[in-house]
Amino acid sequence: MQSREKGVWKGNFYKLYVEAQEIAFTPENIRRGFWNTGLVPLDFRALRRTLKTPTPTAVSDPVPPRPSTPPPRALSSMSPTEIYAITTPRDQHSLEHLFQSVSLDLLGSNSPRTWRIKHVMEKFKNTGVTFGHEWDFVQERLGAATQRYDNREAKPKCRRRIPE
């Protein structure tokens, strides 16, 4: 309309499409689109909200509330006993906490080697978070399948007699 043309037609479609694409498909819009849909990082709960599918109820006991954890400390400020007492993270929160503790040691230096280490650590963290989400999803599906199996009605068996 700004170029005094009357709407979209075959002659101007491609030109208008390219202009709209340049405005809409910026790297920031693309990143936010993946983030809001739950695709990166993978979040099955966000995917279910987007697809409006019901969340299956798990048969297992509810998760107890997580005790409040102290803020992350740099590993260099911990004693050897505290470092050896660090356990394997079992959920996303404790993985983030451990990642932040390690990152605090790396924040002081700003070298390409540090950037690479931070990048690799971020990949490890994302892998752990993804596996955690996948584990939750599999547990929910298993619980729902078990519940469906338990609720099914027993069908009478039809047996045919085979003549001798």
pLDDT digits (tens, 9 = 90+) for 10-64: 888 888 889 889 998 888 888 888 777 777 777 777 767 767 666 555 444 444 5
Lowest-pLDDT range, 7-21, 53-67, 114-128, 143-157? 53-67
Q: Is 25 helix (H, G, I), strand (E, B) or coil?
A: coil
pLDDT at residue 49, as a whole number:
72
Rounded distance between C-alpha atoms, residue 69 and residue 7, angstroms: 59
What confidence category does residue 155 fall into, taking pLDDT thresholds of 50, 70 and 90?
A: low
Rounded distance between C-alpha atoms, residue 27 and residue 20, angstroms: 15
pLDDT at residue 33, as a whole number:
82
Closest C-alpha to 96, from 41, 138, 23, 159: 41
pLDDT at residue 108, as a whole number:
64
Rounded distance between C-alpha atoms, residue 42 and residue 19, angstroms: 32
What confidence category does residue 119 fall into, taking pLDDT thresholds of 50, 70 and 90?
A: confident
Query: pLDDT per residue over 73-85, tens digit each?
Result: 887 788 888 888 8
The chain-wide mean pLDDT, for the chain, equals 76
Task: Report cis status (omega within 30 of 0) of the bond before 89.
Answer: no
Q: What is the pTM of this model?
A: 0.42
pLDDT at residue 160, as a whole number:
76
| Arithmetic mean of pLDDT, 96-111 | 76
Lowest-pLDDT range, 81-95, 102-116, 117-131, 134-148? 102-116
What secondary structure does DSSP assign to 36-104, as a single string? HHTTTTT-HHHHHHHHTPPPPPPSSPPPPPPPPPPPP--GGGS-HHHHHTPPPP-SHHHHHHHHHHHHH
